Structure 1
Amino acid sequence: MKVIAFGASTSSTSINKALATYAASLIEGADVEVLDLTQFDVPLFSEDKEKEIGQAEGAKAFLEAIQQADALVISFAEHNGHHPAAYKNLFDWATRIDREVFKGIPALYLATSPGPGGASNVLAAATNSAPYFGGNVKASVSVPSFYDVFDLETGKLTDSALIDKVESAIKQL
């Protein structure tokens, strides 16, 4: 099974990338590829820019990577209650090439933040909009207070209730 995992963030210290990587590592026998969204360079989307350059190469590469997956593990960062601008921009470019970005591939949606909200607003938005973009969300989990429940040195959750939630969600894939 080929699993594509990524944090919907371009931060070099993304806690969402760490969470997605951890969750994907729990899938027994999976070949996991963790994407770094900084490798998919795209200009700021506008119809004028699209007319000028056509399809952005970074968006094409992003779609190609996703299409290699048998399962997706995505952890959504939240900036002021919404998707980070860099992820949203890449996603917008991708939808202009193929509205069914996620191709019905079974997915686990996650989100985390340093605070008690656990990026639940963006997780709800991503989960609710997924069907419009070929999303096949099998489970979703919000992880609040990331730095209190995740050991960055080992790359693992430390809270037993959250471990159980993520492990249960993984089984849905």
Structure 2
Amino acid sequence: MKIIAFGASTSSTSINKALATYTANLVEGADVKVLDINDFQVPMFNEDLEKEIGKSEGAQAFLRELGDADALVISFAEHNGHYAAAYKNLFDWATRIDREVYQNKPAVYLATSPGPGGAQSVLAAAQGSASFFGGNVKAAVSVPNFYDVFDMENGTVTNSDVEKQLKEAAAALTA
């Protein structure tokens, strides 16, 4: 099984990328490819620019990567209760090429934050709109207080309850 994992964040120290990577690697025998959304450069979306340049190459490349996967593990960064602007912009360009961005691949949706909210708002938005964009969400997990439950240096979860939730979510990809 080939899994594409990414954090919907541009941070070089993204906790969402760390969480997605960790969770994808819980699927035994999976070939995990971790994407960095910084590698998919797109200009700020607007219809005039779309008429001028057509389909953004960055968005096309992003869709190709998702298309090559058997499953997806996405961890959504939350900025003021919403998607990170860079991810939303990439997503908007991608939907103009193929509205079914997630291509009905089995997916685990995650979200985390350093605080007690666990980025639940953006996770709820992602889950709520998934069916409009080819999302086939098998499990969703919000992880609050990230730095209290995850060791960034070793890339491991240190909380047994969170570990259990993530293992169950990962297992849902192969069920």
TM-score over 0.5 for the pair: yes
- Give, as a single letter, the amino acid of the residue that structure 2 aligns with 1:170: A
1:50-129 aligned at under 5 Å gives the runs 50-129=50-129
User: How many pairs are equivalent?
Assistant: 173
Spell out structure 1 runs of 4+ moving beyond 2 A: none
- Give, as a single letter, the amino acid of the residue that structure 1 aligns with 2:150: F
Q: Which residue of 2 aligns with 1:44?
A: 44
Q: Which residue of 2 aligns with 1:170?
A: 170
Q: Which residue of 2 aligns with 1:135?
A: 135
Q: Deviations over 1:116-139 (max 9, x none)?
A: 000000000001100000000000
Identity %: 71
Q: Which residue of 1 aligns with 2:147?
A: 147
> Distance in 2 between the 1:102 and 1:56 partners?
17
> Distance in 1 between the 2:172 and 2:2 partners?
16
> Distance in 2 between the 1:11 and 1:49 partners?
26
Structure 1 position 156, deviation (Å): 1.0
Q: What secondary structure sits across from 1:141 in the alignment?
A: strand
Q: Deviations over 1:69-128 (max 9, x none)?
A: 101000000000000000000000000000001111000000000000000000000011
Q: Which residue of 2 aligns with 1:18?
A: 18
- Give, as a single letter, the amino acid of the residue that structure 2 aligns with 1:96: R
Structure 1 position 42, deviation (Å): 0.1
- Give, as a single letter, the amino acid of the residue that structure 2 aligns with 1:154: N
Structure 1 position 171, deviation (Å): 1.0
> Distance in 1 between the 2:156 and 2:8 partners?
19
- Give, as a single letter, the amino acid of the residue that structure 1 aligns with 2:119: A
TM-score, normalised by the number of residues in structure 2: 0.98
> Distance in 2 between the 1:157 and 1:49 partners?
43
- Give, as a single letter, the amino acid of the residue that structure 2 aligns with 1:163: E
Q: What secondary structure sits across from 1:20 in the alignment?
A: helix
> Distance in 1 between the 2:37 and 2:15 partners?
14
> Distance in 2 between the 1:94 and 1:33 partners?
19
Unaligned runs of 5+ in 2: none
